[in-house]
Amino acid sequence: MHRHSTDGGSSVDPADRAAVRDHLERFAGPDAVTEADDGTLRADFGGRTNVAVAPDGTIDTGMPLHSFAGSPERLVFDHDGGELRAELDGESVYVFRHP
């Protein structure tokens, strides 16, 4: 299940596998998303740039010069703006911009 955030993005529980897959496929393209044997969903953007979300909701990004790993409370997909925000608590946010 997902809900719309006030800024137009879609807020997703990082442990909701179906919602995460749907939004990653929309964000990166359906052919860019794969699932590993351990259930981790990975969106590849070419080169070393990727976003991976483990079954427990942990996110890991590979992006030259600013990778990130953490356990966000929610993921906010702004498909129109090309951003994925990992909201870790009330104040900390990591922003991944579609390359």
Q: What is the pTM of this model?
A: 0.86
- Rounded to whole angstroms, the Cα distance separating 55 from 14 reads 8
Are 83 and 19 within 8 A, CB to CB?
no
Name the average pLDDT for the chain.
89
Reading the block at residue 83, the tokens are 């951003």
pLDDT at 64 over 80: no
- Band (5; pLDDT cuts 50, 70, 90): very low
Give me the residue label for tokens 């922003």: 95
Q: What pLDDT does residue 44 have?
A: 96
Beta bridge pairs of residue 51:
43, 61
Looking at residue 86, its amino acid is A
- Write the CA distances from 85 to 24, 36, 38, 95, integer angstroms: 12, 23, 24, 4
Q: What pLDDT does residue 6 have?
A: 42
